[in-house]
Amino acid sequence: MDLPKNKKLILFDGVCNMCNRSVQYVIKHDKKNVFLFTDLQSEVGQQIISKYHIDTKKTDSILLYTEENGIDYKSTAALKIAYHLGFPNRLLSVFFMIPTFIRNWVYDYIAKNRYKWYGKKESCMIPTAELKSKFLE
């Protein structure tokens, strides 16, 4: 998967309302235009899942892919995304001090309940014409 130079790819659950709201938040606050997006259900998403042997039964809500680092997932992906959104989101980096197994336990609890709390769509989000360039299909 060749990404444009200096871009990071966020893979998200395209049918999850919470995930879609999170993507919209990132788009709004991505002042340096760092991120591209694709849903896990897309062809690109499935290629990355296959390449990195990701078990979508265990990790099914957000992934961060970069050419340099490969895949980050769960709380590490979320915190790295927040870091690249600048101040004040960057302050969330303080949570890197918490051991990964604890961060991921909290993350998994939220991910497990996201459909119950926020609902689920029938199909993936379709970006508007102005945002289409930020999405890989």
Per-residue pLDDT reduced to its tens digit, 87-101: 999 999 999 999 999
65 Cβ contact list (under 8 Å, min separation 6): 1, 3, 8, 9, 10, 11, 48, 71, 72
Beta carbons of 101 and 81 less than 8 angstroms apart: no
pLDDT at 41: 83
β-strands 62-66, 70-73 pairing: antiparallel
pLDDT at 67: 87
Give 60-81 as a DSSP string.
Answer: -SEEEEETTTEEEEHHHHHHHH
pLDDT at 59: 67
Alpha-carbon distance of 34 to 68, in angstroms, equals 14
pLDDT at 100: 95
pLDDT at 126: 64
pLDDT at 35: 96
pLDDT at 14: 77
Beta carbons of 93 and 82 less than 8 angstroms apart: yes
Beta carbons of 86 and 79 less than 8 angstroms apart: no
Identify the segments of the chain with pLDDT beneath 50.
Answer: none
pLDDT at 133: 77
pTM, 2 dp:
0.86
